[in-house]
Structures are given as C-alpha cells and as structure tokens.
Structure 1
Amino acid sequence: MGKYTLILMYVDSEETLDLVRRGLGDIGLYLTPTVVITWRERRDVDKRLSRAKAHLMDAMEKGFKGEFSYAVIELTEDQYRGVRQLVVIRLIKEVESMISRGEALLARIRSARDVNRVKGALDSFNRRYRWVVQLHEVFDVKHDLLRKLMDLTMEMMNEYERRVR
C-alpha cells in the first residue's frame, strides 16, 4: 500500500470552496466536496494548502469574505482500509459520469459536419480520462466499468481520426 493522506476542509461557501480548489489543483480524489484523499508527499500537500490559503487571502484583500480551515491526516493501513470502499464508490461514480459524457461526445463526433468543432471537447475529455485512469492506478482499483470507459475512449479516438482524414 502506498501512503495516503486525507484532507478534511471546512469552507463557509461555494465561492470559498472554488478558491480553495483552485489553489489545491489536482491534489487527489475528492470523496466529497470538502474531503480529499491523496497519495502526494506531505511537503506537496502543505505547499498546495499554502497556495489555497494565498488564493483566499488575495480575494480577501479585494473585499471577499470567506472562512477556510482544514485538517491533514496521514492514514495508517488500517485507516485507509476503512475509507477504501469510499474511494472505490467515488471512482465508479466518476467512470459512470465519464461513460455518459463519452457516449454523448461519440454521437457528436459521428454527426458533426465539421469534426474539428468537437476537438476542444475531445481534448477536455481525454485530459479527464487520463486523470481518472491515473486515480485507478494510484488507488489500485479495478472494475469492469473502467474497461468499458477505456473501450469507449478508444472508439471515440478511432472515429475522430477516421472522420478527420
């Protein structure tokens, strides 16, 4: 098992959460909007939390009012086993969402008169796809839906390439 860290956050509004998330970047998997599990080194977690606080402070200097506090818990193996099912459920939900989005995008690719008009959406999908696959690898989660997403992504790319030619 790798070393995992849980970040528990309190924010007082959606706007505050947006600022904090911008500062955290792709730190890990959001189990809920304010609970993140990450595999990143503690030094990186601290740096990203500092960046999130800086984003919030910059906004506060311009008159924004918001509250942000957090706790960082480095999980033991037993603690991780306790939250692993939440990780699996969250990843399955993410893959289901990606499959739905991918099927709609495949339909757009197939029906587009100018397939280049969907290039931006395809690029965005591919970035998210790579992130989701990375999360599955990091948390060592395997399920049939991930295979379905991989097949769908391959089909989308093949269809796009075929239509571009």
Structure 2
Amino acid sequence: MDTSSLYEIPLTLIDGTPTTFGEFRGKTVLVVNVASKCGFTPQYAGLEALYAQYATDGLVILGMPSNQFMGQEPGNEDDIASFCGLTYGVTFPMTSKIDVRGKDQHPLFTELTKFKRGILPGLVKWNFEKFLVNGDGKIVDRFASTVEPQSTEIVDAIKKSLATQPTA
C-alpha cells in the first residue's frame, strides 16, 4: 500500500468523530493497541509522557483499544476514555475499539502488521504493541509489548523520525 492509501484509512475517534489516518499526515505517529486491564496498562503513563514531551515537535500517540486478548478491554468507549483520563491523564488521541487481528482486523492494522521486525508478521501478539509511522506515512519501526514507551529504543526512533519529518 502506498502512503497516500495509508492516509485514506478510516478511523473513528473514541468520541465517535469519524476521520482518517490522513489527519496525522506530516506527523510522526506511534500507533499502539491498548487495553485497560492488562499487565502492560501502566504503559499509558509512559505514552502520555512521550506525547507531552514531543507533541510540539510533531509526535502523535494514537491509542487504539482492542478487547481481543483475554477480554482485557471490556468497557465501552466512554468507560475507556474515562479510565484513561482519570487514571493516567491521557490527552493523546484514542480511537473507538477495534480488532487488531482476525477477520475483522482494522485496515490500519492490516497494513501495520506487514512491517517485519522480529515479531510475527501479520499478527499482533498482545496488547501494547507499538508501530512507528514517519511523517511521510511510511511504517519505520515496530516494538513489542514488553518495550517500555520511554525506552531508549523507542525514544531514539521517535527522535530520528522527527528529525526527518517533512516541513509543512
């Protein structure tokens, strides 16, 4: 898929607002499949800290809730938004609940999971997998659930992407 097609993928924000991935054109986007009742849920704090630190430089964190792993995101969109805001102070964009694998896999994850880097291509293994899309809409990195958001590995990849971001 070319990057212009990636930008055409529809998204529904957690408040029900329809948009496309194109809303983030020209920005570095860290896409994360999230869940509120997972052992990795505390990563919300690190994701929010990254967003607070680099948003003005052009970073977007996009949280995409999924309930596909042991029912760890059972709530509806209002429940999820409330939990994330009250518990972790999340201000980065979130989408409505989606499937990250299987027959109803969200089209964005169909594309993201084509990126191969030591993780099963085509599959999301667990909650809090992270995919980095650069400002040109190219998928440039992928991180396992176990990689903390503020790890050197992720921060360095974000900085590199921000440094090469297209100018508006």
TM-score normalised per structure 2: 0.28
Per chain length, whose mean CA-contact separation is higher, i.e. which structure has more relative contact order (CA < 8 Å, sep 6+)?
A: 2
Larger relative helix fraction: 1
Please say which structure displays the higher CA radius of gyration.
1
